[in-house]
Amino acid sequence: MAPAPHPSRRSFLLGAASFAALIPLASCSGGSGGPTKDTTADKGLPVQGTTLTYDPNTLVNNGEPITLEWWLWDGEEQFTAFADAYRKIHPNVEIKVVNQPWDDYWTKLPLALQGDKGPAIFNIHNSHHENILPYCAAYDIDLDAACTDFVGVNGHVIDGRVYYLDYGLMTGLIYYNKAMWSAAGLTEADIPKTWEEFRAVAKKLTIGEGGSLSQAGFNFNTSAYVLLLGKHYQSGTNLFDKEGKKVQLDTDVVKADLAFLTDLYGVDKVGSPDFGSDSDEAFGQGLSAMTYNWGHYYGTLKDKYPSIDFGTFQTPVGAAGAAPYAYDRCNGESTPGINKNAPAGAQEAAQDFLKFFLTSDELLKNLCLRYSLFPASASLADNDEIAAHPVMKALGSIDRYIWPGPMPATVEDNAKTAVADVLYNGAAAPTALSAAQSAIDADLAKTSFVSVEGDYAHADEAK
């Protein structure tokens, strides 16, 4: 979920193992019993949607039984709800949800999509845009209607067609342990607005003696690179150059941002690379008072660490009182792809299901709540449940968050390597950032990626 789920986005390992050998790693779910013939076209159901609509009163695949697979790496319960709801309308269409770990997914999926035996439907993360797009069928939808009902559609148009959209937008923020906060004598009035205030709060939350930590005030061991790829926007500098084809990591701004983070450990002693090496787990286990992560982490904490009483607040900025160029970057959570190599009947059913997916407000709302997303659907823009979500309340608005485009995985992969070299291997920040920039630029040159930072609503404020 954007960025990619916290395990690193690895490059495709096409030669690592065969598709068949990897199949047992997946888990499947679906409705009980097989599909049954559908003979009733007019189901007496209303057309759903606003401008982009879906009419359920049809026969899919001529009513003949058909089974599709839908591959994904997370959110099995929420996505299965779409499949189950669709089957209630079309009993002849069974959609089997196949869930598998993130790294395995990106090894298996491109292999499976090369023939007609792969999944008809599959979830997409836009960091793998270049690798997956050749296997995607264009959506059979009214593009003007989609642009009316969803934000950000134009950013996905390729030669007048779209192959996936966003159903929601995610970004990063600070998570804090409320019990530790209170024990340190802090109240909601102490929520830091600036990075210097944050530094002071992190010191108060740190517990240790003789150089040995028992509670980190702030732990960024597995999220520093993600924070680094967003913090520079606060200074008014984009991640990519004016042409949108080269990354800007080896800059004074990013060097200063990385120095600030490393000084939190090296100078202020609010944490350590060796204390809670996985910052996600360390916060969940009560070893850290604060951490940085994206919206999806809210659901992870609720699922895996239900005993932690935590709160969230917006990422601090350099100076209080004025909105920055952008608080952070954001990324879209992508709608499913349709396999262009699937048999004709499977593609027809997948296209019909896709229209159902895009117009199912209640189910889309549940996805947004699960992953702490600003909804892309205009009909959910003022939804009270989403607005009341703690992450949404902390962020307030998506207005000052910038989307750089479907950023290839190489950007995060190499940024992660650079930060790890600095934290764990003693590398000089300029050397590590320069190496990362060179590696990323070499990879980007092999792709068609062009940043869309110029489309940001406040792009004219960039330095």
pLDDT tens by residue, 117-157 = 999 999 999 999 999 999 999 999 999 999 999 999 999 99
What pLDDT, on the 0 to 100 scale, is given for residue 412?
Answer: 97
Segment 348-359 shows an average pLDDT of: 98
Q: How far is CA 104 from CA 23, 120, 183, 280, 333, in A?
A: 10, 18, 42, 21, 19
> Residue 77 — very low, low, confident or very high, per pLDDT cuts 50/70/90?
very high
Residue 18, pLDDT > 80, answer no
C-alpha span between 190 and 388 (Å, rounded): 22
The hierarchical CATH code for the domain 171-330+397-461 is: 3.40.190.10
Query: Within its chain, how far is the Cα of 14 from the centroid?
Result: 23
Q: pLDDT of 153-174, one tens digit each?
A: 999 999 999 999 999 999 999 9
Task: Say whether pLDDT at 388 is over 70.
Answer: yes
CB atoms < 10 A from the CB of 182, how many?
11
Please say if the pLDDT value at position 9 is more than 50.
no
Spatial CA neighbour of 272 closest among 207, 193, 194: 207
pLDDT of residue 33: 81
Q: Is the per-residue pLDDT at 8 higher than 70?
A: no
Q: What is the mean pLDDT of the chain?
A: 93
Q: State the pLDDT at residue 27.
A: 59
pLDDT at 7: 37
pLDDT at 30: 57
Q: What mean pLDDT is predicted for residues 363-367? A: 97
Q: What average pLDDT does this structure show over 300-325?
A: 95
The radius of gyration of the chain's CA atoms, rounded to the nearest angstrom, is 23
| Percent over 70 (pLDDT), the chain | 93
Q: What is the pLDDT of residue 11?
A: 33
Query: Quick one: fold of 49-168+331-388?
Result: D-Maltodextrin-Binding Protein; domain 2 (3.40.190)
| pLDDT attached to residue 211 | 82
> What's the rounded mean pLDDT across residues 66-91?
97
pLDDT of residue 16: 32
Which pLDDT belongs to residue 17? 34
Structure-token match 């009035």, residue found:
189
Residue 78 has phi, psi (to 5 degrees) of -70, -40
Domain with CATH 3.40.190.10 in the chain: 49-168+331-388, 171-330+397-461
Q: What is the pLDDT of residue 26?
A: 52
pLDDT-based confidence at residue 15 (cuts at 50, 70, 90): very low
User: What's the CA gap between 81 and 86, in Å, rounded?
Assistant: 8
For the chain, the 3-state helix, strand and coil shares in percent, each to the nearest 5, are: 45, 15, 40
pLDDT band at residue 13 under the 50/70/90 scheme: very low
Lowest-pLDDT range of 26-30, 154-158, 225-229: 26-30
AA identity, residue 116: D
